[in-house]
Structure 1
């Protein structure tokens, strides 16, 4: 990293109610925490249908935007190929206007739950091509360009009111090669289940793809974390959470951060050293608010305190 690199943080709000219910009071509590803390973005996940209850991502983003006054809100990540780009362009232009530009549109190809693709009438085989074109199409609609693609058509009439600044920042989720190439066309990346070493290689790949122009690009990370003062209990709770997500703890535990605040902070700093500029904390256990509060009150200050010496060493 360079001394000019910024460092930001996010919280994934538990609109996926796999571990505990999420109602308006929970969104309000998350909004209050986001506004009063050193958090840059409150993120929400996305599914149209899923094996557990989940709120609509666009609705949840808009509600969080209305409940906040400082922190940004965004999707992490919206399954863009499931939707018509014109609908996405319109919705997020409105959210941008109504929040004074405090929205980030995280996008990805999705594909983890086949029934929602059947319901949407979209072939999983086309999701990559649809996502690639949709990235362009969003700008067609925001700019009022007359264009025609394979899946979308823009008649040359700009969406009005437009997003603040003429566009909504796009961050791309995914760690595969295609996702990295997609991210290089946009404003940021969001990776999960990656090592610091993979984060460093993604940064190098995107830097090369952008011919070194990364001044306005944000390298992001989605990090599953669990804070507990007893390390063994923290590990057990983390592995249980991964299992309840129908994933393999033995394969994925190494990509998480768990333990007392100083241990979690040390893990975060390993990613910062690798070039990550935004760390979003994914806290998939019961008691999201206490976990999020410990992240913002104990973990983030430790990372901030260690950062000046880290930058000095690298300068």
Structure 2
């Protein structure tokens, strides 16, 4: 099992010293990766389910934060949980992601994308909320096309994006592509993970039976698309108080990575919680 940790800028803030210290602590404790969330824009009345989001929550840009974290650490893999792909143009995003990966020497390897759930956020960037799923599918294809292309350029003519003889450099660090994991707890997200993703990272409040069905749906979609279901990574949220026995149960369900977070805001409390988790699960 691999273990990642999430750094929630809306709750921990964007103080650079604090962010760097948290990332170094995670690395020191043996965590594999650090994840950052994203919201491009909020507005009064924005709701996720029944939760109304305070519009002043400081959602910093996750890729800028991860580049900063990379400079403060040596081995932590960099992840998004999730990056709202339909609200980014894939031509620009391909270069940004490759740049972070190159500067971090190959650590931008846990990009997780979602389609977003706030209609006002889509409207703010001029995206039709109803088409964001199709836009995401096409954007994934465009990212991989650009990363794999050479100096002769590549072309694409799709529903949302179109270009000819386009050249995108720099490339990812010693790679022709970056892994793309798919987040989301809907059936569509599970299918997208199987058809196009390198991994699946469902969130939400699903029952164990629902989670099992979503994972099987992702695997079935991979097989139907001629892809290897066993190559899919399966990431889930965990908790800092989880036991080794619970981790073993999740591993038996196919989970390959657990991402935990801390509610503590005091650095001393964060250290105590992360060190306790690392010791309990033999991360070092």
TM range, smaller chain: 0.7 to 0.9
- Equivalent position of 1:10 in the other structure: 4
- Equivalent position of 1:73 in the other structure: 78
1:186-243 deviation per Cα after TM superposition (whole angstroms, max 9, x unaligned): 11111113344444333322222222724432100123x3x5xxxxxxxxxxxxxxxx
Unaligned runs of 5+ in 2: 43-54
Q: Distance in 1 between matches of 2:276 and 2:169?
A: 43
- Equivalent position of 2:219 in the other structure: 207
Q: Distance in 2 between matches of 1:288 and 1:149?
A: 49
- Equivalent position of 2:200 in the other structure: 189
Relative to the length of structure 1, the TM-score reads 0.75
Q: Distance in 2 between matches of 1:146 and 1:119?
A: 28
1:42-96 deviation per Cα after TM superposition (whole angstroms, max 9, x unaligned): 0000011232111111211211122111111121110000111111111001011
Q: Check if 1:277 corresponds to 2:282.
A: no
Q: 8 Å contact 2:5–2:260 — kept in the other structure?
A: yes
**How many matched pairs?**
259
Structure 1 residue 300, shift from structure 2 partner: 4.3
Structure 1 pair 96–137 and aligned structure 2 pair: CA distance change class (3 A)? same
Which consecutive aligned stretches of 4+ in structure 1 deviate over 6 angstroms post-superposition?
none
DSSP-derived class of the 1:110 partner? coil
Q: Distance in 1 between matches of 2:66 and 2:158?
A: 28
Q: 8 Å contact 1:27–1:64 — kept in the other structure?
A: yes
* Equivalent in 202, 221, 234 of residue 219 of structure 1: 234
DSSP-derived class of the 2:80 partner? strand
Relative to the length of structure 2, the TM-score reads 0.82
- Equivalent position of 1:297 in the other structure: 275
Structure 1 pair 209–118 and aligned structure 2 pair: CA distance change class (3 A)? closer
Q: Distance in 2 between matches of 1:214 and 1:295?
A: 35
Pairwise CA RMSD: 2.3
Structure 1 pair 121–303 and aligned structure 2 pair: CA distance change class (3 A)? same
Q: 8 Å contact 2:147–2:168 — kept in the other structure?
A: yes
After superposition, where does 1:12-27 map in structure 2 within 5 Å?
12-17=6-11, 20-27=12-19
- The structure with the largest helix share of the pair is 1
Q: Distance in 2 between matches of 1:199 and 1:38?
A: 28
Structure 1 pair 209–134 and aligned structure 2 pair: CA distance change class (3 A)? same
Unaligned runs of 5+ in 1: 1-6, 228-260, 306-315
Q: 8 Å contact 1:89–1:141 — kept in the other structure?
A: yes
* Equivalent in 28, 33, 48 of residue 36 of structure 1: 28
Structure 1 residue 129, shift from structure 2 partner: 1.0
Q: 8 Å contact 1:199–1:275 — kept in the other structure?
A: no
